Amino acid sequence: MSGVDVITFGCRLNTYESEVMRAEAEKAGLNNAILVNTCAVTGEAVRQARQAIRRARRENPHARIIVTGCAAQTEKQTFADMAEVDAVLGNEEKLKSVSYRALPDFGVSAEEKLRVNDIMSVRATAPQMVRHIDGHVRAFIQVQNGCDHRCTFCIIPYGRGNSRSVPMGAVVDQARKLTESGYREIVLTGVDATSYGADLPGQPSLGYLAKTLLKQVPEILRLRLSSIDSIEADKHLWDLIADEPRFMPHLHLSLQHGDDLILKRMKRRHSRADALAFTEQARRLRPDIAFGADMIAGFPTETEEMFGNAATLAEEAGISFLHVFPYSPRPGTPAARMPQLDRALVKDRAARLRARGEVLHRAHLDRMVGTEQSVIIENNGMAHTENFSLVAAPGLVPRDFKRVIITGHDGRHLDMQVMPALAA
């Protein structure tokens, strides 16, 4: 191979940062290299990264393999000890071209491979400018990094550091560059996006940032948020939900569970009632809004009744896109020291919760049939409606806007018919 290839795991923020990594590595003159941007959310994510590294070495025996991302930050020695790995960079180091100019040669010791500093010492997030997100018709903008909360199951603050925000002016500049490159849909992303602004002068909120962005960059036709913590929703966010048609009617919520005692043991800051109040208020203001949510099945001490509360919350809150994680103990977290459930039971509950999610998703698709929708055509012959429902769109030109009628679905995605263009 030649050039720089990037293998990305995990969240939208990683997808964005992978483009920054590629640009910085190429600026440094790196060639014949594979960058692996890892995720540490679950043990399975780490296993998949290790598997991908071994496969990359088999398929590219002479390439230089550099591992970075959250798993590299939290388990640096694990990757340094892999014979297939030539260097390990931390989450801060991966975004700087100097890191790629200072890489060790082949055959160095595990200790010399490591370029991972203390992420907790990082106090600011420098704006990272990209004009293109490889393979995507919607563009991501990093507005925040890190997390100040310490949920008992989560290792991510130790991979990303404390919360820090990108200044509003830099976010606006990045949005302008992306719209100039032809992107019509922007997604604001971060590790804990709704904590945005607490460390900036005047403490602007995420909702205020979104309002400002839509005002100053009118070329944005669709604006989305990545995963949010609903308990941190501010007045400006509610205004957007109620009154701004360019703010898309889809929110992905970091719920994690639906039982109050488990939520306390997770050290979450919302209750079951808080979650229901948020979804009810959002739906009242924007009846076409759809919700996604993260949920963990099989958390330590979870009884069958507690598990049932999680499943019924998904129904009561009207979650159309349920993302289920079987609980995975992460070394160094408080939850890993709690009484654990049998792994078979954890997997069973995750499967049952996913099945519940599939029923909810099918009901959502049923409600979409017969409606008129606007879609942006994507590179893979698919599209998304404003509420993020997936639509089959074979043979259409990527990035085109189409007005369509939803004609049916197969349980996974919607079918559609393009409406005739209106006469001028």
What is the distance between the alpha carbons of residues 181 and 247, in angstroms, rounded to a whole number?
20
Return the pLDDT at 92: 86
Return the pLDDT at 13: 83
Query: Which phi-psi region, left, alpha or beta, contains residue 161 (left: φ > 0; alpha: ψ -120 to 50)?
Result: left
Task: Enumerate the H helices of 150-255 as residue ranges.
Answer: 156-160, 168-180, 206-216, 235-243
Return the pLDDT at 321: 97
Q: What is the DSSP secondary structure assignment for residue 389, as one 8-state letter? A: -
Q: What are phi and psi of 216, to 5 degrees?
A: -85, -20
Neighbours of 414 (CB within 10 A): 26
Burial string for 115-143 (b: 16+ CB within 10 Å, else e) reads bbeebeebeebeebebeebeebbbbbbbb
Return the pLDDT at 16: 82
Return the pLDDT at 111: 54
Name the one residue in this structure whose structure tokens are 């991966």: 94
Strand partners, 373: 404
Strand partners, 89: 115
Distances (CA, A) of 93 to 72, 98, 101, 160, 194: 11, 8, 11, 12, 25
Q: What is the pLDDT along the chain (424 residues), one digit of tens a residue?
A: 568 999 999 887 888 888 889 988 988 888 899 999 999 888 888 999 999 999 999 999 999 999 999 999 988 889 999 999 999 999 888 888 888 886 655 555 555 677 777 666 666 665 555 655 656 788 889 999 999 999 999 988 888 889 999 999 999 999 999 999 889 999 999 999 999 999 999 999 999 999 999 999 999 999 999 889 999 999 999 999 999 999 999 999 999 999 999 999 999 999 999 999 999 999 999 999 999 999 999 999 999 999 999 999 999 999 999 999 999 998 889 999 999 999 999 999 999 999 999 999 999 999 999 999 999 999 888 999 999 999 999 989 888 899 999 999 999 999 999 998 754 3
Return the pLDDT at 138: 85
